[in-house]
Amino acid sequence: MKIDRNKSALKLLWHRYQLTRWIIVAVLTLIFVISAYCTFIAKTTHVQNLQSSLEQSTVIYDSKNQKAGKIYSQKGTYVGYKDISTNIPNAILSTEDRNFYNEHGFSVKGFGRAILLMIKNKILHREYISGGGSTLTQQLVKNAYLTQQQTFSRKLKELFLSIQVENVYTKQQILTMYMNNSYFGNGVYGVEDASRRYFGMNAKDLPVQDAAVIAGMLTNPSAYNPVDHPKLALKRRNVVLQLMVENNKLSQSEANRLKKTPIVVKNTYQYKDGYKYPYYFDAVIDEAINKYGLSESDIMNRGYKIYTTLNQSQQNSLQDDFKNDSMFPSNAADGTKVQAASIALDPTTGGVTAVVGGRGQHVFRGYNRATQIKRQPGSTIKPLAVYVPALENGYSYNDILQNKKISYGSNKYTPQNYNNVYTGTVPMYTALAQSMNAPAVWLLHKIGVDKGYQSVKSFGLPVQKKDKNLALALGGLSSGVSPQQMAGAYTAFANEGNMTTPHYIRKIVDSSGKVIVDNDTTTSKNVMSKKVADEMTSMMLGVFDNGTGVSAKPSGYQVAGKTGSTEADNTGDSDATRDKWIIGYTPKVVVATWEGFDNTNAGHHLENLSGTGVGPLFKAEMQQILPTTGNNSFSVKDASYLDSHQGQGSSSSSSSDFWNDVKNGANEVSKDLGKGIDNLKKNANNWWNQAKKYVGK
């Protein structure tokens, strides 16, 4: 009786609140929402570009709009329907989708079967669906747009996209796209390349028995291809021949005859690798993904035209240099190679013209040391952290710096010069050219660490608050930098104080001709005055003329820049080096080169802390690159030359020269007020001596 009362109460409650109606409304609402979402996905996928994107590979163009190579996956040699033997579509349709011409992108029975299988798998706690009788159009959509993951949401998207494809293309076009986009094992896509790979002929010449082999591979290319599994391929071919009989595409007697013929394999397929500049193309793909929001699949398969800043001559020379083992130190005792990375870019635009990210076997979108390493920059940071802010705060390139072994602060931080050599005092330009540590730290201490920190930050390097200490002068960064970041910072010296951002892509055009990325305008950031940039270049010319970069100077050219190295800790070797750097530039190009082991320890480190060990590689790179860049002449002279010729001029100087010197001298005096009484007296005396010289004329 109690059970009956509960049933009656439930029934009364059900009717009172009309729960059946609400359940129907909820189900219909859910169907409407799902349908609306899937329709939106289908409408915004731009399937009208599907055929053109499958017909074309993504092509990379260089800075002169010349083809540099291709990037693609799931791409074979695309051929039209008329260039495919009718035996192939007959075999494929008999095997894969006999009702292809009588359905609109999907099979009602197949989709119903998918739903039933989904319900079954949910009950069994499986998070996928099995099979579902996909039509040929659905298979095309899955390969072109979707993942291979068997989920119900993917199946819904596949359904709606298939309907949209059927609305846009004819059956023959869909069948042609499917045959050209299908995978046939051994890295081969499309019936044309499959015909060449397995039978040594074009797809238009393929006989029935071989077409059946091709069709039979579609369900499992690795198991049914005649190269790796000839017996399984033969058995599968005979199944396909019988299916063709059932589909009225072949007589039984003909099928019986063909079943007795052997499979004769012949390979005339030649793979053409369009990935000619692997590290550069990797960087292009990374930029397209990270900066412009494209997916790797789209880039590889949508037939884009990507216009870059690549210089093919420079790229080829870099790649050749990295293949030349004589350019590098010997391998470690266990055979591990010394690694390296180089990048070249145009300082006026920031466009990367060449890049190599490592030695040895390249891995697609693998580790690119030119763009991804995070290593201490050593002395290459001195111009950014010390000398630029010093010049901006009134110092001059030939000012005298302290060159003594001094301890700073409560922690007694004591920077040391290479080989512990100190001269008491030294001109600023000599301290930079010879990469002396003690004067650099002394100068940063004088101008204030905060000024150095803000300067490094303005150059776009990843400094943190804990880097705000005197070790910053010697490259003591928490996170480290890449060659690309350092090259980008040095563009400011080559570009009159204006820093440009390294980039690879100028423009991307899709397969229909629509421009989807336009980055052909140059943006720059002013980080110092032209006067400071010129003074820095004047000092950094000395690095290669008479400093630590002498051995790396390219013959017949002037180059400015900086060398750097970092000490390898815990190796037991006082001369062990972790990183070696050389960054050099002209007004036309900036090149940054790094050398070291990926993992530094007692058995894997470089020698010679002087920082010149990477010189042979850098010198070879510059001697090959500079002839391609045009006029590399500087508008300034080496600082040591300027200092030695200071005060020498024509005896016929006009009175206006005198007043200009008076004005400039006064400006120098006013700027030097914050530098201390010694420098103030020095510059005032220099000004007075110049004035007396003119008065005495």
pLDDT tens track for 393-407 = 999 999 999 999 999
- DSSP-assigned letter for residue 54: H
Q: What angle do CA 436, 442, 447 make, to 5 degrees?
A: 125
Mean pLDDT of the chain: 85
Mean pLDDT within 156-173: 84
Cα–Cα distance, 540 to 281 (Å, whole number): 33
Question: Per the residue annotation, which of 53, 57, 85, 96 is the catalytic one?
Answer: 96
Cα–Cα distance, 457 to 461 (Å, whole number): 6
Are 593 and 614 in contact by the 8 Å Cβ rule? The answer is yes
Q: Is 565 helix (H, G, I), strand (E, B) or coil?
A: strand
Supply φ then ψ for residue 345, to 5 degrees: -145, 160
Residue 691 has pLDDT above 50, yes or no: no
Cα–Cα distance, 218 to 183 (Å, whole number): 7
Question: Per the residue annotation, which of 94, 182, 342, 379 is the catalytic one?
Answer: 379
Whole-number pLDDT of residue 21: 74
Whole-number pLDDT of residue 653: 35
Q: How far is CA 499 from CA 69, 615, 656, in A?
A: 30, 26, 35
Q: Which of 176-190, 353-367, 569-583 has the lowest mean pLDDT?
A: 569-583
For the entire predicted model, the pTM comes to 0.79
- pLDDT tens readout for residues 51-63: 887 888 899 999 9
Give bridge partners of residue 524 from the DSSP assignment.
Answer: 500
- pLDDT tens readout for residues 417-455: 988 999 999 999 999 999 999 999 999 999 999 999 999
Q: Which has the higher per-residue pLDDT, 440 or 655?
A: 440
Residue 135 has pLDDT above 80, yes or no: yes
Cα–Cα distance, 223 to 554 (Å, whole number): 57
Nearest-10 crossing angle of helices 152-168, 136-145: 110
Cα–Cα distance, 336 to 333 (Å, whole number): 7
Whole-number pLDDT of residue 680: 43
Whole-number pLDDT of residue 331: 85
Is residue 96 part of the annotated active site? The answer reads yes
Q: For a pLDDT cut of 70, what percent of the chain falls above it? A: 80
Cα–Cα distance, 343 to 593 (Å, whole number): 7
Per the rule left: phi > 0, alpha: psi between -120 and 50, beta: everything else, 305 is beta
Per the rule left: phi > 0, alpha: psi between -120 and 50, beta: everything else, 205 is alpha
The distance between the two most distant Cα atoms of the chain, rounded to a whole number of Å, is: 131
Burial of 25 (0-12, 13-18, 19+ CB in 10 A): exposed
- How does residue 35 score in pLDDT terms, banded at 50, 70 and 90? low
Cα–Cα distance, 493 to 625 (Å, whole number): 19
Q: Is 595 helix (H, G, I), strand (E, B) or coil?
A: strand
Nearest Cα to Cα of residue 202 among 79, 55, 95: 79
- How does residue 113 score in pLDDT terms, banded at 50, 70 and 90? low
Nearest Cα to Cα of residue 194 among 74, 347, 77: 77
- How does residue 600 score in pLDDT terms, banded at 50, 70 and 90? confident
> Beta-carbon neighbour count of residue 697 at 10 Å?
9
Mean pLDDT within 609-627: 83
Q: Is 206 helix (H, G, I), strand (E, B) or coil?
A: coil
Are 162 and 145 in contact by the 8 Å Cβ rule? The answer is no
Burial of 22 (0-12, 13-18, 19+ CB in 10 A): exposed
- pLDDT tens readout for residues 175-217: 999 999 899 998 899 999 999 999 999 999 999 999 999 999 9
Is residue 379 part of the annotated active site? The answer reads yes
Are 138 and 108 in contact by the 8 Å Cβ rule? The answer is no
Residue 636 has pLDDT above 70, yes or no: yes
The owner of tokens 């008329």 is 82
Mean pLDDT within 132-146: 78
* Token code pair at residue 571: 């190796």
Q: Is 252 helix (H, G, I), strand (E, B) or coil?
A: helix
